[in-house]
Amino acid sequence: MTVVAGASVGLTACSSSGVTLAREACSHVNRSIALYTRSLHDSPKEAGVLQEQAYLQLRFALPIAAQAATSNAQWQALMTTLSETNRVSEHYLLQALRAQCGEADSSTAGQPTPPTTGQPTPPTTPTPQVEPGTKQTFGH
């Protein structure tokens, strides 16, 4: 019993640590997104500098996201997306990064999903349509 309780506490700590690390990685991702977005409205010279800074923020986030994924597999997608930053333009990763960091930054991140009751949903039976002024008969 003590072993089970200890394992439970250990898993909760890992989960919490994973969320903390994912949020830390996402702080870099959010900085990167802000820099990248700013770069879209600047001169080409300034845009290049901002995009390089944005790229570096994503690269800073990668090892932290890897630690988060090691702690909790829930963050595997974030780590994988960040690992693509050396091959794919940030423009193509923005939607995934926003979604993954939105999950990390949510108040429910790292909390287990509630168990289902295991009870099947009762089937619905369509209601027969009867035209007005007609008599409805069953089986006759």
DSSP assignment string, 15-41: HHHHHHHHHHHHHHHHHHHHHHHHHTT
Mean pLDDT of the chain: 81
Residue 67 CB partners (closer than 8 Å, separation 6+): 21
What SS3 state is found at 8?
helix
Residue 8 CB partners (closer than 8 Å, separation 6+): none
> Which tens digits make up the pLDDT trace of 43-76?
999 999 999 999 999 999 999 999 999 999 999 9
What confidence tier does 8 reach under pLDDT thresholds 50, 70, 90? Answer: very low
> Which tens digits make up the pLDDT trace of 79-113?
999 999 999 999 999 999 999 999 998 867 656 55
Summarize the confidence of residues 4-23 as an average pLDDT.
Answer: 61
pLDDT at 28 over 60: yes
Tokens at residue 47, please?
Answer: 């845009």
Rounded-to-integer distance, Cα 22 and Cα 66, Å = 9
Tokens at residue 36, please?
Answer: 């990248």
Counting Cβ atoms within 10 Å, is residue 105 exposed (0-12), middle (13-18) or buried (19+)?
middle
Domain ranges across the chain: 2-105
Poorest-pLDDT segment among 23-32, 69-78, 123-132: 123-132
Rounded-to-integer distance, Cα 136 and Cα 106, Å = 54
pTM: 0.67
